[in-house]
Amino acid sequence: MRVTTFVSLLALSVAAAPLLAASPPPAAHPPAAAAESSPPVALAPQINAADFARFDKTLSSDVFGGRKPGTPGAQRTTDWLVAQFKRMGLQPGNHGSFFQAVPADSTLLLNTDVALDIASHGKHARFAYRTDMMAQTLQAKATVDLKNSPVVFLGYGVDAPNWHWNDYQGVDVKGKTVIVLVNDPGFASGDPKLFQGRTMTYYGRWTYKYAEAALKGAAACFIVHTSDAAAGYPFSVLQNSGSGPQLSLPTRVDPAPRLPVAGWLTHAAATRLFAAAGLDFDTLAKEAGKPGFKPVPLHATASLTLHNKIAHLESKNVLAMVKGRSKPDEAVIFTAHWDHLGTDPTLKGHQVYSGAIDNGTGLSMLLEIADAFAHQKTPPQRSVLFFMPTLEESGLLGSQYYTAKPVFALDKTVADIAVDALPIIGRAHDMTVIGKGQSQLEDMLADVLKTQGRVTAQETTPENGFYFRSDHFNFAKAGVPAMLASSGLDLLNGGRAAGEQAAADYTAHRYHTPNDVFNPHWDYSGILEDTQALYELGQRLSHTGVWPQWYADSPFRAQREAMMKPAAATVQR
């Protein structure tokens, strides 16, 4: 078990003080050209660039060590966040506590020289860890021995009755190694009538593919990283995220089936693996995107042994609230995860995954909004909960735990508004709604943005499935209307081309790397307008009688309607 060093707030404040003092004054106003084209938005007094910069610089400093759960940096992070909430005057959000304990299993791969061995037609091909593939167990076991497991190509690994699509049809995968493609058939075909075309559905996410393979009894599932566009990130992100201990909820909390071996293959490795079986990978990958695709046995076997160090730890969700004055049992939730990837001492140069954007920006925004709510002359009618979950980077585990054991009953939870990895690139004509087209929360945000002379917009890469990659998604799966909001990319200075270029540059060079660091030259004018917009949205949601609904075609609508029926029946009686 990892030992956590507890550092007092006094020691932390002394250590962090030079960092705060050294922060240069950020730009509190938009550039002159932008100001001429659109007047600046009126901000609540507590929403200002100086505080935002101070929060982000502190959270992304080396003092916090990359905010990895189970490390001293994690303890410093959660203690510091609570200190800010106390200073602002917020109340504990979990029945008298600012924390919700989240148990986790830790699995550290010991034999990092492990290779995947593929035997076919009497010949062997070996695939190296990190270079060709990534592999881990999801079962938190010390030793996992995959031996001579038959290999089958399952296309996209999707069983979707609503789309009349089943890649598992006619094949028994129990004990077998399945190879599947990242994303879903709609992405491959570009046909808007197939799944959702370019927009990734949940069937395209790795979490779904692993869960489905486990449910079907597979011994291993390897996802092929066919391209950066299909996955939404380069293979290096998988290398970085897969290094070090991997965390999961204990089976007593999440008893769903889990894969003995879960992994990824590079496109080049998949090509070589299929060639060893006498098959052409690219040809089969194209066929996999067409209706009627049949599973293809490779007439090969896979072998791999994983030796792991298993430990158990307890991390913490952070919860603070402004209590509602007339309906305190009903809650509006703002969400931003506090955890990141920690420190890698094997790296040359900067070794800390600082996470200034991911998710220092989201945390800073929530602190700004919390401060504004705490200083309202009239408290909100409903309670407003500021939820900072742990273990987001390990598969959204902190929010999964909360939705299983909520502080506020889910049928009393009005909505969840989440922010994650917000770009700080200046003022924009728009604000991005990730996965646009889900609920009336989007209509409400659009009304708020009208007062700022702005509009909502869909993300530029819906094929990347960002809606399924942040903590709000666990609320959505549970039925609670949930929205992931982000800063807009149609910039006042440079337009959409400049915004998209900035976003692409971040993904390529800083996302999930030690290069995601605080920049003293950031222009905060845009992200402060976004902060104000979400604060105003929260104000509207905090009024009693406002219950945003899922749109009629949302897959989450049925779950919400089911949970609200008992409440409606009680009211009628």
How many domains are contained in the chain? 2
**Sorting pLDDT into bands at 50, 70 and 90, what band is 532?**
very high
Least confident of 16-30, 305-319, 330-344, 401-415: 16-30
pLDDT at 37: 61
For residue 528, is it within any domain? yes
Domain that holds residue 366: 9-92+323-572
Q: 256 and 359 share a domain?
A: no
For residue 198, is it within any domain? yes
Residue 143: strand pairing partners: 307
- Domain end: 310, 339, 362, which one? 310
Determine the average pLDDT of the residues in 155-160: 96
Instruction: Indicate whether 27 pLDDT > 60.
Output: no
For residue 316, is it within any domain? no
Q: 76 and 132 share a domain?
A: no
For residue 351, is it within any domain? yes
- Domain end: 284, 310, 336, which one? 310
Give the tokens for residue 526.
């845009």
Q: 148 and 269 share a domain?
A: yes
Q: 15 and 80 share a domain?
A: yes
For residue 100, is it within any domain? no
pLDDT at 567: 60
Q: 396 and 498 share a domain?
A: yes
Q: 283 and 350 share a domain?
A: no
Instruction: Indicate whether 32 pLDDT > 60.
Output: no
- Domain end: 278, 310, 342, which one? 310
Q: 172 and 304 share a domain?
A: yes
Give the tokens for residue 80.
């510091």
For residue 34, is it within any domain? yes
CATH number at residue 114: 3.50.30.30
Q: 304 and 343 share a domain?
A: no
For residue 543, is it within any domain? yes
Q: Is 44 helix (H, G, I), strand (E, B) or coil?
A: coil
> Of residues 244 and 537, which shows the higher confidence score?
537
> What mean pLDDT, rounded, does the chain reach?
91
Report CA torsion sign: 264, 267, 269, 274.
positive
DSSP 63-123: GGTT--TTSHHHHHHHHHHHHHHHHHTPEESBTTBSEEEEEEEEEEES-TT-EEEEEETTE
Percentage above 70 pLDDT, the chain: 92
**455-458 and 382-388: which strand pairing?**
unpaired
Q: H or E element: which one contains 151?
A: strand 143-153
For residue 512, is it within any domain? yes
Instruction: Indicate whether 35 pLDDT > 50.
Output: no
CATH number at residue 363: 3.40.630.10
DSSP 445-474: HHHHHHTTT-EEEE-S-GGG-GGGSSTHHH
Q: 240 and 334 share a domain?
A: no
Q: 429 and 329 share a domain?
A: yes
- Beta-carbon contacts of 86 under 8 Å, excluding residues fewer than 6 positions away, are none
Q: 216 and 354 share a domain?
A: no
C-alpha distances out from residue 514 to 71, 350, 519, 558, Å: 17, 6, 13, 42
Contact present, 385 and 333 (Cβ < 8 Å): yes
pLDDT at 414: 98
Backbone angles phi, psi at 17, to 5 degrees: -55, -45
pLDDT at 299: 94
Q: 485 and 539 share a domain?
A: yes
Least confident of 157-171, 233-247, 286-300: 233-247
